[in-house]
Structures are given as structure tokens and as C-alpha cells.
Amino acid sequence: MSQSLPTPKIQPYGDAAVLLSYGVEGFSDAASQAVLSLSQHFKAQSGWTDIVCGYDSIMGTFDPQVMRLGAAVNRFQLAAQSVDTLDSIAAVTVDIPVHYGSEHGPDMNAIMDASGLSEAGVIDAHAAQTYRVCMMGFVPGFTFLSPAPKALHHPRHDTPRLSVPAGSIGIAGWQTGIYGLSSPGGWQIIGRTEASIFDINRSPIFLLKAGDNLRFVPQR
Amino acid sequence: MIEVLQSGSSTTLQDAGRPGHRDRGIPASGAADRLSFGLANFMVGNDWDAPALECTLGGLHLRVLDDTVMAIAGAEMWAQVNGQNVTNFTSFPVTKGDILTLSFARKGVRAYIAIKGGFRAAPVMGSVSTYTLAGLGGIEGRALRIGDRLEASVKGTSGPQKIPPGYRPYLSNHVILRARPGPEFDALTADSRRHLFISPFFATPQTDRMGARLRGDKIVMSRPSSMVSSPLLPGTLQAPPDGQPILALVDGHCTGGYARALQVIRADHWLMGQIGPETQLSFRRAMDVEAANVLHYRNAFYSRLMPGFKF
């Protein structure tokens, strides 16, 4: 790990969950990797009903009839102390085809203006790097990725759109991600994928999970 | 089988929910008031977690298409069969052609209608619970509509008819929830921390299964800070910058970016299902030992009536 990891805060979250948070400003690759390693570690244990990652935090929920709050906090403390020795997450790489710009990316012009790049330049910059799926959530299948290249960082819309189509790929500050299903949203939309992140009629239902690597493949 | 003559403001099929998928953004859903839901099933002799209808605020009219037994628990809604009152604490037989009507809720907001055998639907990820945002479960993932027909599963055994008096939950139009300080409680102003436990709040019309937007004293952080998205649970009271807190409910988002001011204790989650527009609510600080003890004894008490029941 390149960056040093701050000491995490571990605390009860109500009476049936425990929360670990590194409390970093913005994005920390080291914190995100640590959270994903912890997630893999806890998911292999019994006793947890949900293990959910944030960018720099992780929550475990449990049945208080099965595990006591104090024991849950202890488990988190023990794992956090030896996070360096945990296996890093076994990542698979998923390619996501993207139609950038035009009707698929209504905010492409805003990103071009702000970055001074051509459309091809924005596409090259956005699709050049391999991202990590840091967390999923908010709504089903919403995929939060590691940061976009600096030139593309852009604030959210002041007023969210009432409906952003499923598969839309957006930018919000340093964040980039994919809308798993149609929902209201304030992100700057630069493209869309036909790949469905979330499909209950498919097995597996989810195309992605936290810890996966992801590459955007521009479509003509 | 039953047929929907009027669907009310929002009626969905629910069971005990689909826990375990929050890491992909899927909330557990399920009956918002788990206790009343379980008791409705108990009265018709079902397992406590058999699929039942959750009727919000009333306005539901059903035609019964087969002779069977039904029961209602939860919000008090002036329920009638062919114009004759039925109560929330006793199951009642219905015959083909009967019409069951639920009028406006007087106390509480969600009533549960159970049928002998339980309603039948195709499970999605292990549950028939309706989660309308993603179109999961229930009937095509949506609330009931006029003309929908729901079948009951193969008839269950005939069960007890009445809820014993000591087991009847007391609903009031002022909901008191016991809560623990949330992860960002200490980041709130001193006034906000005090107001949380002494001030009453009202749920605004922006209240549904996802959350309740509250009106009352402003709850704000001492220093406005932009949090990165982090996990969120039902029962979390969030404090957005405008100072109007939001209580996450059974279909609430799995991650969020606002300060988590309070967390309602598990034993009181069922009561959050009875929060609707204009419900008055207040929070009372619970000690962690108290939260564990209350849950333990409440689980033991109700599982005597409903084997396997857990809050």
C-alpha cells in the first residue's frame, strides 16, 4: 500500500451493527483497499447478516440474538489491527461497453467546456484507466468507482434530474459511476452502457460487485 | 383467491423481507410493521412470515372469491365485511362474494391483511416482498391495482382465532422510538443533540416506505462537512444540511452521505412502520444494555406465540 492508513474509528451503529471508518478527506486508495480486504475477511466469517463497504468505511450487521454488540466490535478491532496481513481482494476485470456523448451523454458538452478537451479527449481520458468498484448501493446496482482522471472532475447538477436512465455513466466531483437502474440523480451524464448491472432474470443477477476491476470500452 | 376492487393509496404484498443484499444496494424490504404483520398471520394459523397485504392509510376494497379465513392487524381502519365491522384482534371467516373494505386509518397508518395459507407470489431473491423502486417481488414489483387477483397458497392448518390480550400491541398517534446515538452524533451542535431527545417531530407528507422527512427543531452539524457515501440502515435518523432530519425506513437507501444522528433500537423498528404523514414522533435515549435486554425479552415473549418470530 502506497499511502499510510490512518487509525480507523470503530464504533457501534445502533444495537445490531458495527461501523469502521478511516475518516479520510476525499478518496484514499489505501483506505478503499483496506475496506475491501476487510469485507472479504468478514464475508468468510459466520455471524454477519450484511457486510457493506463505503469508500473509506465498512459496516457489519448481525442478529443480536446470535452475537453480542461487544463481540462484534471486538471482531472489527481485531481485524483492523491486522489489516496488513489480510489477503487483498481477488479481483476480476469486467469490460463495460459505453456509448459516449450525444443522446447517451447529455452532459458531455459541460465536461468538454470545463476540461478544455474535445469529445474524443474526454472519452480517451475516461476510458483510459482501469477503475475499481469501491462500493455499490444508494439504489440497487448503483456502482461507485475509484476516481475519474482529474481533468474530468466536475460538480453535480444543482438540481437533480427527475429521471436518469439505467446504465447512465456519470461524474460527480471526483467520483464516477454507473446508474444501476433508472432513478432521479444529479450526476453529470457522459455516456450510457447497454450492459445491465442488475437483472433479476439473469444468473448471476449482478454484473459487478465491490472489489471488481472495471474497464470502459467506447463503442462507435 | 381475492380480487382488488379499490387499491387504496398504496397496498403491497410483503413477507419478512430479503435480508443480506445491502452490499449491492438492495434493502431488505418486508413488512414495515413486522409485529402486526406476524400477528395477522398468527390469527389465521399461518407461519408468522407468510405473505400478507400491507395497506397504507386505507381505501382498500377486496372481493373474496373462495370461502376462507382472514384477519387484520396493525393500524385501525374501520374494517368491514359486507358493511359489518370486524376487529383487529380476531380472525373472521369470509365466503365467496363477500366484500372486505378498509376505510381511513384512525390510529397508525399500515394494516396487514392475512389470508389462511398466505398469498401466493413468485419469490425474488428469496422473498415475495414488494420493492417498488426496483420493481421487485409482489405483483410485477408494484403496488396493487384495481382488477388484480391474488391467490392463497394451499390452505394451512386452522389456527387460533384471537390475539391473547397481553400480546395486543398498543398503537398511538404519537410514536415514541428508543434510539442510540448514531455514528456522527458527536458532530452535531449541542442544541441539536439536546433537541433530538426532548423535541417532538412531525412526519411531513414526504413519507413513504423509504423514509420519513421530519419537521421540528433543526438538527445540524456544528461544522458543515461533506461526508463521502457510507453505509446506512433502516432506523437511522439522518441530518441533511437544511436541518430537517430524515428517518430511513424499511425500503431506505443502503448508503448515504448525510450525518447519521441517531439509530432506533431494533426492538422498536416495528413501530416505525406506523409512521405516516402528520404522525408525531419523539426519540428517547436508550442505553445499550437496555436495547439488548428489551430485544431479548420481546423476542422471547412474542416467539412463544409465533415460533421463530424475531423483531
Q: Among partner residues B23, B263, B292, which is closest to A50 by beta-carbon distance? A: B23
pLDDT tens figures, B231-253 = 999 999 999 988 999 999 999 99
pLDDT classification of A89: cutoffs 50, 70, 90: confident
Which amino acid belongs to residue A19? L
Q: Quick one: pLDDT at residue B155?
A: 66
Contacts for B270 with CB less than 8 Å, ≥ 6 apart? B33, B34, B35, B36, B169, B311
Q: Quick one: pLDDT at residue B277?
A: 92
Which residues of chain B does A144 touch, with a Cβ-Cβ cutoff of 8 Å? 229
Helix (H) or strand (E) holding B284: strand B280-285
DSSP label of B132: G
Return the residue in A13, A29, A55 with the most chain B beta carbons within 10 A, the one to mutate for interface testing.
A13
pLDDT tens figures, B24-78 = 999 999 999 999 999 999 999 999 999 999 999 999 999 999 999 999 999 999 9
Which residues of chain A does B228 touch, with a Cβ-Cβ cutoff of 8 Å? 24, 26-27, 54-56
Residue A29, exposed/middle/buried by CB under 10 A (0-12, 13-18, 19+)? Answer: middle
Which residues of chain A does B285 touch, with a Cβ-Cβ cutoff of 8 Å? none
Q: Taking CB atoms and an 8 Å limit, are A137 and B253 in contact across chains?
A: yes
**b/e B160-193 (16+ beta carbons within 10 angstroms → b):** ebebeeebebebeeebebbbbbbbbbebbbeebb
Supply B142's cell numbers.
408494484
Which residues of chain A does B259 touch, with a Cβ-Cβ cutoff of 8 Å? none
pLDDT tens figures, B277-307 = 999 999 999 998 999 999 999 999 999 999 9
Cis-peptide into A12, omega within 30 deg: no
Interface contacts (A, B; CB < 8 Å): 132
The SS3 call for residue A34 is: helix
pLDDT tens figures, A152-190 = 999 988 888 889 999 999 999 999 999 999 988 889 999
pLDDT tens figures, B300-310 = 999 999 999 99
Please tell me the distance from the alpha carbon of residue A169 to that of residue A166, in angstroms, as a whole number: 9
A160 touches A185 (CB < 8 A) = yes
Instruction: Using CA coordinates, name the residue in chain B closest to A67.
Output: B292
Which amino acid belongs to residue B194? R
| Whether the predicted pLDDT of B156 surpasses 90 | no
Q: pTM for the full model?
A: 0.94
3-state secondary structure A94-136: EEEEEEECHHHCCCHHHHHHHHCCCHHHHHHHHHHCCEEEEEE
The SS3 call for residue A148 is: coil
Q: Taking CB atoms and an 8 Å limit, are A69 and B19 in contact across chains?
A: no
Q: Quick one: pLDDT at residue A1?
A: 43
Q: Is B182 an interface residue toward A (CB < 8 Å)?
A: yes
Q: Is B24 an interface residue toward A (CB < 8 Å)?
A: yes
| Whether the predicted pLDDT of B128 surpasses 90 | yes
Q: Quick one: pLDDT at residue A2?
A: 45
| Whether the predicted pLDDT of A51 surpasses 80 | yes
Q: Scanning the structure block, which residue is given the C-alpha cell 448491472?
A: A197
Which residues of chain A does B29 touch, with a Cβ-Cβ cutoff of 8 Å? none
Q: Taking CB atoms and an 8 Å limit, are A14 and B296 in contact across chains?
A: no
What is the CB neighbour count within 10 angstroms for residue B53?
A: 29
Q: Is B308 an interface residue toward A (CB < 8 Å)?
A: no
